[in-house]
């Protein structure tokens, strides 16, 4: 694999206020770009971050062949830059690609691309625990054609940017009983742009009612808990962590998987199963619902403070009384920072650029 590198001549890094990082507005100096043509990926390059030219008939703009990933690099306490479970992100990208009839991006090339890119822009990785360099790989169809069929050409791009927390405050949720996020047989499990686009109108309605996000229910009976558009959802009922199983309509979150493995390792009881919203209401009324939180790459672990379902408005226990979400967040952040031993082999040091053959 060969990556041609054109370095930016004018770094924007000195202008970044690392103590004040909103999510998703600051972008590092470089980006990786690759092209798929004649059945193979090639033309690998790293160039200064900037605008890309596109043809108005480019298929990715029209029929939704557009997928993405969200992953993070952080700095350990000793200054080593590390990725968190990069292989799993590469694999999930290719699962999404398969569902959207797009070509897989070779896992080794994915790895070399992110190592080279992040090594080059490692000065952009924030130092504070809880902040990170967010990495956004994405792929889209580039044929200049507006008939409906899979494209024969694609672009794969990775850019990065330092971020603070996605949800700086605890969030409120409202269940949705008209709109759905994903149905069985659909593409809810893929990290496809359309899953997010379709959530915007119902979310806007929820926002106007005073809620931050929607708690999506299943598409058939509006009975089972699914996820919250940008996160998987977890509940603590009595002393058990309960989360919906991933049955094809829910994104297989990497933070979700990490938390379940931490629970397994620490002997915290957990259940992955169908979760009825009525069960959550009952547990709340009985005083057994101790915590509710969303988990995701961008959000890490974000507390839910209120849930409205139909006429029932549940004010959940005060954040100070909760212990599990805080412990899980601290475990994930601690494994990333090196404060807690990485028993799982999740943390992968960013290779030194001199050692990467590009
Ligand atoms: C992530 O957690 O990386 C996500 O995919 C959420 C993103 C849409 C902001």
Nearest-angstrom CA–CA distance, 69 and 91: 10
Nearest-angstrom CA–CA distance, 329 and 175: 25
CATH number of the domain at 269, please: 3.20.10.10
Digit-coded pLDDT (tens) for 33-58: 999 999 999 999 999 999 999 999 99
**Is 332 contained in some domain?**
no
Nearest-angstrom CA–CA distance, 295 and 281: 21
pLDDT at 215: 98
Q: Is the beta carbon of 297 within 6 A of some atom in ligand 1?
A: yes
| Distant-in-sequence, close-in-space partners of 270: CB < 8 Å, separation ≥ 6 | 240, 241, 242, 243, 260, 263, 264
Residues 140 and 202 in one domain: no
Residue 245 belongs to what domain range? 171-322
**Is 236 contained in some domain?**
yes
Give the Å distance between the CA of 161 and the centre of ligand 1. 13
Residues 153 and 180 in one domain: no
**Is 184 contained in some domain?**
yes
What does the pLDDT average to over 185-212? 97
- Cβ atoms of 149 and 105 within 8 Å: the answer is no
Consecutive H or E run containing 256: helix 254-266
The rounded mean pLDDT for the chain is 96
pLDDT at 119: 97
Length of the chain: 358
Return the ligand 1 atom nearest residue 297 CA. Answer: 2
What does the pLDDT average to over 243-256? 96
**Is 327 contained in some domain?**
no
In the chain, what's the furthest Cα-to-Cα distance?
A: 62
Cα 84 to chain centroid distance, Å, stands at 12
Judged against a pLDDT cut of 60, whether residue 148 lies above it is answered with yes
Give the Å distance between the CA of 253 and the centre of ligand 1. 10
Digit-coded pLDDT (tens) for 161-189: 999 888 889 999 999 999 999 999 999 99
Give the Å distance between the CA of 354 and the centre of ligand 1. 31
Per-residue tokens: 52? 């890309």
> Of 43, 42, 7, which Cα lies nearest the Cα of 28?
7
CATH number of the domain at 113, please: 3.30.470.10
Helix, strand, coil percent content, the chain, rounded in steps of 5: 25, 30, 45
> Of 139, 138, 137, 141, which Cα lies nearest the Cα of 58?
141
pLDDT at 354: 59
Residues 33 and 130 in one domain: yes
Judged against a pLDDT cut of 90, whether residue 212 lies above it is answered with yes
Mutate to test the pocket of ligand 1, among 252, 253, 298 (most ligand atoms within 8 A of CB): 298
Return the ligand 1 atom nearest residue 68 CA. Answer: 5
Residues 153 and 212 in one domain: no
DSSP letter (8 states) at residue 75: E
pLDDT at 168: 86
Judged against a pLDDT cut of 80, whether residue 350 lies above it is answered with yes
Q: Using only C-alpha atoms, what is the Rg of the chain?
A: 21
**Is 340 contained in some domain?**
no
Return the ligand 1 atom nearest residue 231 CA. Answer: 2
**Is 44 contained in some domain?**
yes
What does the pLDDT average to over 301-309? 97
**Is 328 contained in some domain?**
no
What does the pLDDT average to over 334-357? 87
Residues 146 and 207 in one domain: no
Residues 79 and 103 in one domain: yes
- Cβ atoms of 295 and 262 within 8 Å: the answer is no
Identify the band that residue 356 occupies on the pLDDT scale cut at 50, 70 and 90: low
Mutate to test the pocket of ligand 1, among 203, 294, 299 (most ligand atoms within 8 A of CB): 299
pLDDT at 1: 78
- Indicate the angle between helix axes 254-266 and 324-337, nearest 10 degrees: 100
Mutate to test the pocket of ligand 1, among 68, 166, 168 (most ligand atoms within 8 A of CB): 166
Residues 151 and 271 in one domain: no
Digit-coded pLDDT (tens) for 125-137: 999 878 999 999 9
**Percent of the chain scored above 70 by pLDDT?**
98
Residues 203 and 287 in one domain: yes
Digit-coded pLDDT (tens) for 262-279: 999 999 999 999 999 999
**Percent of the chain scored above 90 by pLDDT?**
93
Residues 210 and 134 in one domain: no
Give the Å distance between the CA of 72 and the centre of ligand 1. 11
Cα 166 to chain centroid distance, Å, stands at 10
Residues 149 and 8 in one domain: yes
| Sheet strands (E) in 8-70 | 30-37, 40-48, 66-68
Digit-coded pLDDT (tens) for 64-84: 999 999 999 999 999 999 999
**Is 308 contained in some domain?**
yes
Residues 159 and 175 in one domain: no
Nearest-angstrom CA–CA distance, 347 and 86: 8
Residues 14 and 119 in one domain: yes
- Cβ atoms of 195 and 188 within 8 Å: the answer is yes
Paired strand residues for 304: 171
Give the Å distance between the CA of 311 and the centre of ligand 1. 30
pLDDT at 303: 97
Judged against a pLDDT cut of 80, whether residue 104 lies above it is answered with yes
Report the number of distinct structural domains present in the chain.
2
Q: Rounded to two decimals, what is the model's pTM?
A: 0.95
Q: Is the beta carbon of 70 within 6 A of some atom in ligand 1?
A: yes
Q: Is the beta carbon of 298 within 6 A of some atom in ligand 1?
A: yes
């Amino acid at each position: 694999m060969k990556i041609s590198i054109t370095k930016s001549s004018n770094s924007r890094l000195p202008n970044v206020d690392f103590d004040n990082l909103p999510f998703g507005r600051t972008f590092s100096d470089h980006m990786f770009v690759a092209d798929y043509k004649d059945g193979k990926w090639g033309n690998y390059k790293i160039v200064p971050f900037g605008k890309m030219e596109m043809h108005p008939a480019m298929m990715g703009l029209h029929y939704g062949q557009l997928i993405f990933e969200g992953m993070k690099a952080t700095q350990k306490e000793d200054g080593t830059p590390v990725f968190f479970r990069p292989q799993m992100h590469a694999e999930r990208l290719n699962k999404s690609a398969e569902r959207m009839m797009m070509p897989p991006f070779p896992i080794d090339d994915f790895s070399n691309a992110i190592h080279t890119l992040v090594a080059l822009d490692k000065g952009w990785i924030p130092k504070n625990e809880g902040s990170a360099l967010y990495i956004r790989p994405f792929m889209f169809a580039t044929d200049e054609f507006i008939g409906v069929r899979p494209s024969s050409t694609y672009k794969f791009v990775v850019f990065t940017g330092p971020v603070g927390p996605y949800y700086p405050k605890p969030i409120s949720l409202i269940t949705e009983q008209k709109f759905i996020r994903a149905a069985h047989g659909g593409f809810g499990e893929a990290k496809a742009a359309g899953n997010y686009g379709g959530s915007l109108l119902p979310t806007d309605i929820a926002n106007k009612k005073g809620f931050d996000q929607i708690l999506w229910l299943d598409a058939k009976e509006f009975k089972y808990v699914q996820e919250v558009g940008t996160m998987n959802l977890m509940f603590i009922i009595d002393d058990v962590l309960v989360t919906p199983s991933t049955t094809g309509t829910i994104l297989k979150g990497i933070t979700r998987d990490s938390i379940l493995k931490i629970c397994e390792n620490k002997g915290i009881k957990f259940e992955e199963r169908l979760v009825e919203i009525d069960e959550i209401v009952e547990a709340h009324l009985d005083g057994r619902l101790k915590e509710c939180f969303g988990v995701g790459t961008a959000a890490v672990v974000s507390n839910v403070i209120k849930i409205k379902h139909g006429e029932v408005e549940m004010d959940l226990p005060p954040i100070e009384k909760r212990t599990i979400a805080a412990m899980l967040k601290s475990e994930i952040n601690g494994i990333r920072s090196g404060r807690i031993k990485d028993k799982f082999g999740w943390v992968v040091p960013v290779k030194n650029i001199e050692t990467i053959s590009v």
